[in-house]
Amino acid sequence: MSKWYPKNGRVIFHVDMNSFYASVEMAFDPSLKGKPLAIAGNPEERRGIVVTSSYEARKYGVKTTMPVGEAKRLCPNLIVMRPTFDRYRTASKEMFKILADVTDMVQPVSIDEGYMDITDCQDQGSPPEIAERIQNRIFQELDLPCSIGIAPNKFLAKMASDMKKPMGITILRKRDLEKQLWVLPIEEMYGVGEKTAEKLRKIHVNTIGDLARHSPLELKNLLGINGERLQKRATGIDDRPVDPEAVHEFKSIGTSTTLAQDTTEDLEIRQVFRRLTNKVEARMKNKTVLARNIQITIRYHDRKTITRSRQLQDYISTSDQLFYAAVQLFDEHWNQSPIRLLGVTAQDLVEKNEMTQQLDLFSYEQHASKEKLYKVMETLTEKYGKGTFQHLKNPTDPTITTSFQKDFLDDYKK
């Protein structure tokens, strides 16, 4: 057993659910099994984008982020369903409970994946045996497939879990990097996006092995500190611990939406910003946090995307404050071209109970002057209904509309 559990090393798992949303729908409705299935945000409109697809659909070339229309052209028999996030959260919670039965050292990183540190689990068998038991339990109890990567650190475990899908178990040791990892194209490396890959190819870095062997100085000049970090990962160096509390460390809360049609209409744009800031306010309310930085995302009709942010003088939390800051940024940076997508993100977050707001005379008068307004609005809302002031959507509404939120990822502990 000592060969599996080195004295000075770690044994890390990365557990990655396979085609998670589609697999959950198939487990819920077995008649879908074996059929090409795609989960899309809005199947009826152009903004319907494939979130995930079954392996049967992928054989036809259906991919994540592909428009529904294109996916249906590739696969005429494609079944397209809206996501049911309550169902996915329940499955995620049960999956992480199974991982927690093995060790307390579990770090969820998204709804369908997480890391485990099993270095102290020698009494439970070898790492491959433990991985096989986990995989079998998840499949037998939840009817869901997963792949598991086994490695001495998080990066290698993540890369290993991608090497065999579905239902794969892959071991990636440092001594095997040259044969298993370095032969892969650079864009398959975790942490290397499309733009970074383009930059690296210009300096003849075409594989992960090329990155590992390249001049550190040239990589740093090209990518800054990220170049150094990526090269270390490529050579198998990653000291990040598996941190069960990391799920509580969030730096931003944001949301975005693709418009039904490209638009330059000012009123429509502001209505979209109002809906987005309502959602951000609701999640900030649930997490009891304040923000001191606002960021917006604008994607134009030609898919060119820009992000702009601003550090604020004071911490903010209400939809009105978020809306004002976001629209002000937008007005400064919009180039008048038709817009396809808008996003708002609150950043530089602090918990309310850690932040004491010191009101000077001016800000005190602002707060005091709004109190009467808020009371009048509450009275009118009670009299005429909740729709009277659309922008005052209930901030305590806990509805989660996207899987990318991490607010619920520690629910498996309850």
Q: Rounded to an integer, what distance in angstroms lies between the CA atom of residue 280 and that of residue 321?
A: 11
Residues 111 and 204 in one domain: no
Q: Write out the chain's pLDDT in tens, 414 residues.
A: 667 887 789 999 999 999 999 999 999 999 999 999 999 876 665 557 888 999 999 999 999 888 888 999 999 999 999 999 899 999 999 999 999 999 999 999 889 999 999 999 999 999 999 999 999 999 999 999 999 999 999 999 999 999 999 999 999 999 999 999 999 999 999 999 888 999 999 999 999 999 999 999 999 999 998 999 999 999 999 999 999 987 766 678 999 999 989 999 999 999 999 999 999 999 988 888 889 899 999 999 998 999 999 998 888 989 999 999 999 999 999 999 999 999 999 998 887 765 543 333 334 334 444 545 545 555 554 444 444 444 443 333 333 344 445 656 777 777
User: 101 among the known binding-site residues?
Assistant: no
* Predicted pLDDT at 262: 93
pLDDT in tens, 350-393: 877 655 433 333 343 344 445 455 455 555 544 444 444 444 43
Residues 183 and 168 in one domain: no
- Residue 412 in any domain: the answer is no
Q: CATH code at 369?
A: 3.30.1490.100
Q: CATH code at 189?
A: 1.10.150.20
Helix (H) or strand (E) holding 195: helix 194-202
Residues 216 and 320 in one domain: no
* Predicted pLDDT at 248: 64
pLDDT in tens, 243-254: 998 776 667 899
141 carries an active-site annotation: no
60's tokens: 């036809």
Reported pTM: 0.69
* Predicted pLDDT at 246: 78
Residues 219 and 257 in one domain: no
Cα distances (angstroms) measured from residue 69 to each of 35, 242, 368 = 18, 41, 52
Domain boundary among 143, 172, 201: 172
Q: What is the DSSP letter of 5?
A: S
Residues 301 and 188 in one domain: no
pLDDT in tens, 196-222: 999 999 999 999 999 999 999 999 999
Q: Rounded to an integer, what distance in angstroms lies between the CA atom of residue 414 and that of residue 93?
A: 10
Own/partner pairs for 55-63, CB < 8 Å, 24+ apart? 55/18, 55/19, 55/166, 57/22, 58/19, 60/36, 62/36, 62/38
Residues 158 and 36 in one domain: yes
Residues 197 and 145 in one domain: no
To 5 degrees, how large is the angle CA 304–CA 309–CA 311? 175
User: 112 among the known binding-site residues?
Assistant: yes
Residues 166 and 181 in one domain: no
- Structural domain for 210, as ranges: 175-242
Residues 363 and 342 in one domain: yes
pLDDT in tens, 53-78: 999 999 999 998 888 889 999 999 99
* Predicted pLDDT at 51: 87
Give the other-Cβ count within 10 Å of 157's Cβ: 28
Active-site residue, from 25, 56, 113, 281: 113
- Residue 408 in any domain: the answer is no
Residues 185 and 285 in one domain: no
